[in-house]
Amino acid sequence: MQKEKIIIVITVLIDVLGMGIIIPVLPFYVESFGASALTLTMLFSVYALFSFVSGPFLGALSDRIGRRPVLIASIVSTAIGWFVFASAHAIWVLFLGRIIDGIAAGNLPITQSYLVDIARNDEERTTNLGIIGAVFGIGFIIGPGIGGALSSISHPLPFFFVGVLATLNVIGALLFLPESLTHLDKEKKMALNPFRPLVNAVRDRPLRSRYVAWFFFGLSFSGMQSIFALYLGKVFGFNVAMVGTIYTGMGIVIFANQTLLLRRFWLRFFRESALEVWPFLSNAAGVLLLMAPFVPFLVAGIVFHMFSQSLLRVTVQSRAAGMAGPRRRGEVLGIMASVLSAAMIGGPLLAGALYDFEPFLPFAACGLALIAGFLTMKFYASGAAAADH
| 190 within domain boundaries | no
| 242 within domain boundaries | yes
| 21 within domain boundaries | yes
Q: Which domain holds residue 109?
A: 3-178+203-388
What is the CB neighbour count within 10 angstroms for residue 376? 22
- Cα distances (angstroms) measured from residue 49 to each of 99, 114, 191, 194: 8, 24, 18, 12
pLDDT at 188: 58
| 272 within domain boundaries | yes
pLDDT at 386: 45
Instruction: For the chain, give the secondary structure using H, E and C.
Output: CCHHHHHHHHHHHHHHHHHHHHHHHHHHHHHCCCCCHHHHHHHHHHHHHHHHHHHHHHHHHHHHHCHHHHHHHHHHHHHHHHHHHHCCCCHHHHHHHHHHHHHCCCHHHHHHHHHHHCCCCHHHHHHHHHHHHHHHHHHHHHHHHHHHHHHHHCCCHHHHHHHHHHHHHHHHHHHHCCCCCCCCCCCCCCCCCCCHHHHHHHHCHHHHHHHHHHHHHHHHHHHHHHHHHHHHHHHHCCCHHHHHHHHHHHHHHHHHHHHHHHHHHHHHHCCHHHHCCCHHHHHHHHHHHCCCCCHHHHHHHHHHHHHHHHHHHHHHHHHHHHHHCCCCHHHHHHHHHHHHHHHHHHHHHHHHHHHHHCCCHHHHHHHHHHHHHHHHHHHHHHHHHHHHC
Q: What is the pLDDT along the chain (389 residues), one digit of tens a residue?
A: 567 787 788 778 877 777 777 777 877 788 888 877 778 778 877 887 887 778 777 887 888 888 899 999 988 998 999 899 899 888 899 899 989 988 877 677 888 888 888 887 777 888 888 888 788 778 777 887 788 788 888 888 988 998 998 898 889 888 888 888 776 656 656 555 656 666 777 777 778 888 999 999 999 998 988 889 889 988 998 887 788 788 878 878 888 888 788 888 888 888 888 888 999 999 999 999 999 889 999 999 999 998 998 889 888 888 888 887 767 777 788 888 888 878 877 888 899 889 988 999 999 999 999 999 999 998 876 555 444 44
pLDDT at 389: 42
pLDDT at 388: 46
pLDDT at 184: 67
| 34 within domain boundaries | yes
pLDDT at 302: 92
Q: How far apart are CA 214 and CA 225, in angstroms?
A: 16
| 191 within domain boundaries | no
Number of structural domains, the chain? Answer: 1
Burial 174-185 (b: 16+ CB within 10 A, else e): eeebeebbeeeb
Q: Which CATH number is 63's domain given?
A: 1.20.1250.20
| 223 within domain boundaries | yes
Residue 188 burial by Cβ neighbours in a 10 Å radius (0-12, 13-18, 19+): middle
| 183 within domain boundaries | no
